[in-house]
């Protein structure tokens, strides 16, 4: 009987010891789980803060870049606007100019290359020039039967073009070329007259 009681006490002691160990293991596991959870929360929080800092840095860099570009963009738009206004003003002024003056300009430019034209078989195609200028062009090449002066609608801008039969050269003296020349050579003066100040 005492043996049975001793065995039961031993079993009870073993069970109590096992429970204590199990409780310690569970407590330790619970503590480790809580520590791991807290560590994970910290890492997530740190990652979120790092992402937020990175986003703010990128946003600030983008804003700074945009602010630095604004003066250049404003200047570019102003230059485009002034160029457009200048071109339109030139075109309007040329429309208002006496056609005889424009014709004289075309004739004077063509006279510089008249020997080249006389030495070839060519057509001088005229568009939008006054009758007196057309007559002067015919007189300029009166001694060259291989050169003809013709009024043509194939020339898009007012002025003239010379087309040799062999295609060895091309001469174009039009209102477009006059505008381009004025913009190249006299842009500063024209802009100052139009907008005031110097450009």
CATH number at residue 159: 3.30.2320.30
Provide the domain count of the chain: 1
In a domain, 65, yes or no: no
The DSSP code for 113 is: T
Q: Residue 106: which domain range?
A: 97-195
pLDDT tens-digit map of 12-69: 777 777 778 877 877 887 787 777 877 877 877 887 787 778 878 888 877 787 777 7
Cα dihedral across residues 128, 99, 184, 79: positive or negative: negative
Residue 3 lies in a domain: no
Q: Containing H/E element for 171?
A: strand 171-174
3-state secondary structure of 122: strand
Residue 11 covered by a domain: no
How far, in whole angstroms, is CA 1 from its chain's centroid?
Answer: 104
pLDDT at 197 over 70: no
pLDDT digits 0-9 by tens, 161-194: 999 999 999 999 988 888 888 888 878 887 787 7
Q: Answer whether residue 28 is part of any domain.
A: no
Determine how β-strand 159-164 pairs with β-strand 122-127: antiparallel
Give the chain's end-to-end CA distance (angstroms, integer).
Answer: 121
Query: How far, CA to CA in Å, does 24 sit from each of 13, 15, 29, 139, 167?
Result: 16, 14, 8, 121, 104
The pLDDT assigned to 157 comes to: 84
Q: For residues 159 and 130, is the Cβ–Cβ distance under 8 A? A: no
- Domain assignment present for 184: yes
Q: Does the residue 50 lie in any domain?
A: no
**121 close to 165: Cβ distance less than 8 angstroms:** yes
Residue 27 lies in a domain: no
pTM (2 d.p.): 0.54
């Amino acid at each position: 009987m005492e043996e049975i009681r001793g065995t039961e006490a031993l079993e009870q002691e073993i069970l109590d010891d096992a429970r204590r160990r199990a409780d310690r293991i569970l407590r330790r596991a619970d503590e480790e789980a809580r520590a791991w959870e807290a560590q994970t929360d910290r890492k997530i929080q740190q990652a979120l803060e790092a992402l937020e800092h990175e986003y703010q840095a990128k946003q600030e860099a983008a804003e700074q870049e945009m602010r630095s570009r604004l003066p250049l963009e404003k200047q570019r738009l102003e230059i485009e606007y002034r160029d457009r206004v200048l071109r339109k003003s030139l075109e309007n002024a040329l429309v208002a100019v006496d056609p005889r003056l424009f014709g004289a300009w075309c004739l004077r430019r063509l006279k510089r290359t008249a020997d080249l034209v006389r030495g070839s078989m060519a057509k001088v195609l005229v568009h939008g020039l006054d009758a007196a200028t057309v007559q002067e062009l015919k007189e300029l090449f009166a001694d060259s039967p291989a050169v003809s002066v013709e009024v043509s609608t194939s020339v898009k801008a007012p002025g003239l073009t010379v087309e040799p039969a062999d295609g060895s050269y091309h001469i174009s003296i039009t209102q477009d070329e006059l505008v381009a020349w004025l913009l190249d050579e006299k842009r500063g003066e024209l802009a100052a007259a139009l907008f005031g100040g110097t450009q």
